Structure formats: C-alpha cells, structure tokens
Amino acid sequence: MSELDRDRWEERYRSRAVPQADEVSLPAVFAPFEDLFPTKGRALELACGQGRASVWLALRGMDVWGVDISPTAISQARDLAARSGVGDRCRFDVVDLDSGLPAGPPVDVVLCHRFRDRRLDQPIIERLAPGGLLAISTRSVVGAGPGRFRTAPGELTTAFAQLENIASGEGDGEAWLLARKP
C-alpha cells in the first residue's frame, strides 16, 4: 500500500471514536445470515478495522485473526477484544495485504468487509477449509458511480465461482457474497 493510503487510513481511525462493546456485530449486510456463521473453529478477518466483526466472531466461539494496515485500528481492536472478554480468542496484527495474504492454517471463515484486492481471490479460496464460509462485501458500481475500488457487476460471483454461492447481492453501491467451500 502506498504511504499516502496508509496515512489516510491511519488518520481515519485516529479520528473515529473507540468502539464500545455494544457496537460489536457482523456487518449489516451479513446480519440476516448470522446463523450460518460457525460457533467454533478459526476465522480470518481481512481489513478488520477496529475489530467489531472479529470480536463478534470470538464471542460466538471462534478463534479469530484480524489484520489491517492501520496500527491505530489494530490497537483499538485489541482493546475492544480485551474489554469484551475475548482477548484470548483474538489476535490482531498490522498487515499490508498488498504483500499478499499472510501465511497461516486453513480457516472456517474468511470475512472481508469493504475491502477488495483481486490478487487475493485465489489465496482466499485456498485458505478456506472444506466447508469454510466466505463473507465478502465491497463497494460496487451497481447503483453508484465508478470508483477506484468498486467492483463490476457480477465480479464477486465470478471471482469465487469455485465456491457454493449461498447468497449474494448488488445494489446501492455495494456488492456482497456469502459462499461455502465444497
């Protein structure tokens, strides 16, 4: 990631309020499907930000590794996990995903909300354990104008066609996919 982008994310998290325990949740787009998320196993959250979803997964019973480019966001995520009583189930690290997916064991969930790097598509599929769940959402051109990080119509379902599509959608500038590895 460029130094300019890294600084932009750092500033964004420095200016945000520290999340509270009652703000722990899945991203809204996945909330209707929360019963599909496992209650045990390993999860990897890419671009985890302040850790709200990672902590939600840990409270559900999973061991979670959250990664983000912002040291401030990672510090806030660690603090949120500790205050929520799941600091022992969460690991948070500063990772530049431009360098690729960090090495690690297979996981039962990969969660990625509003981050997209096409170079990570195949590594994400490979990281999922058999039966593993992918929950990915991105900004989209569908219902919005073009933008640097917006996906094209049908891009997520095409990119992850090797997985079993459980549910997906596009509109209002967002595309999302919930899929399972066979």
pLDDT in tens, 47-93: 999 999 999 999 999 999 999 999 999 999 999 999 999 999 999 99
Q: How many residues does the chain have?
A: 182
Contact call for residues 144 and 172 (beta carbons, < 8 A): yes
Distance CA 81, CA 146 (A): 36
The domain spans of the chain are 2-181
Distance CA 124, CA 119 (A): 9
pTM of the predicted protein model = 0.93
Bridge partners, 111 (sequence order): 45, 135
Q: Quick one: CATH architecture of 2-181?
A: 3-Layer(aba) Sandwich (3.40)
pLDDT in tens, 88-136: 999 999 999 999 999 999 999 999 999 999 999 999 999 999 999 999 9
Query: Cβ atoms within 10 A of the Cβ of 159, count?
Result: 19
Residue with tokens 């909330």: 31
Radius of gyration over every alpha carbon of the chain, rounded to an integer in angstroms: 15
